[in-house]
C-alpha cells in the first residue's frame, strides 16, 4: 500500500494535485548499487487548481526511516525532477528519478514531495511514501521489470521524460 498525505499552502484539507507512483522503488536493493529501474511518479490536478499563479511543478525525492518519522542520509542520484510530459513542463505529467542508490543497509522508504513554484516562492503541495525498501547485501543485484511495469514504462516512452524502448529492453535483460 502506498501512503500519501495532502499538503497545501492553506489550512484547507482540499487538494490541488495528486501524486502516485507509476514505477515504484524496488522492495530490496544492495547498499551502494543503483536501482535498475527509474522511480517514476505521475502528477495530476485534482479538479481545477485554486492557485493559477503556479509557474512550475517539481518533485523531490528523499530517504525516510521505515516508520516515516525521520529523514535519513544516503540516497543519491537525481533527486529533483520537473513535472513534464509530451507538452513540456506542465501542471500534469511525470517526474523521474534515476539512478537512485541507497548507501547504507537498513529499512527505508522514499518520500516524493510535489512542490509548486510561483512568484511568491515554493510550496509543498502533496507527497507520497513508497513501500519499505530493504537494503542488504543479499538483495538482487538488479531488478527486472514485471510485465505490468513493462507495460507502464512502454506507455511512458512518448511522454518525453527520458525513457526509451532501448532502456526498457536493457532493463528486461538486467
Domains, the chain, with CATH or none: 3-141 (2.60.40.3960)
pLDDT given at position 145: 95
pLDDT digits (tens, 9 = 90+) for 29-57: 999 999 999 999 999 988 765 656 677 88
CA dist 33 → 59, 76, 135 (Å): 23, 10, 10
pLDDT digits (tens, 9 = 90+) for 80-129: 999 998 887 777 899 999 999 999 999 999 999 999 887 777 888 899 99
Q: What predicted TM-score, i.e. pTM, was given to this entire model? A: 0.86
First to last CA, the chain: 26
pLDDT digits (tens, 9 = 90+) for 101-112: 999 999 999 999
Amino acid at each position: 500500500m502506498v501512503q500519501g498525505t495532502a499538503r497545501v499552502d492553506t489550512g484547507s484539507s482540499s487538494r490541488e494535485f495528486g501524486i502516485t507512483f507509476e514505477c515504484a522503488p524496488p522492495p530490496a536493493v544492495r547498499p551502494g548499487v543503483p536501482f535498475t529501474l527509474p522511480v517514476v511518479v505521475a502528477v495530476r490536478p485534482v479538479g481545477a487548481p485554486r492557485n493559477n499563479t503556479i509557474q512550475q511543478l517539481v518533485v523531490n525525492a528523499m530517504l525516510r526511516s521505515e516508520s516515516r518519522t525521520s529523514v535519513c542520509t544516503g540516497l543519491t542520484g537525481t533527486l529533483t525532477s520537473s513535472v513534464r510530459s509530451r507538452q513540456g513542463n506542465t501542471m500534469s505529467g511525470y517526474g523521474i528519478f534515476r539512478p537512485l542508490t541507497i548507501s547504507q543497509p537498513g529499512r527505508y522508504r522514499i518520500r516524493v514531495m510535489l512542490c509548486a513554484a510561483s512568484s511568491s516562492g515554493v510550496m509543498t503541495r502533496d507527497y507520497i511514501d513508497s513501500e519499505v525498501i530493504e537494503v542488504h547485501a543479499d538483495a538482487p543485484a538488479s531488478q527486472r521489470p514485471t510485465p505490468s511495469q513493462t507495460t507502464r514504462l512502454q506507455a511512458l516512452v512518448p511522454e518525453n521524460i527520458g525513457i526509451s524502448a532501448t532502456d526498457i529492453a536493457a532493463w528486461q535483460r538486467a
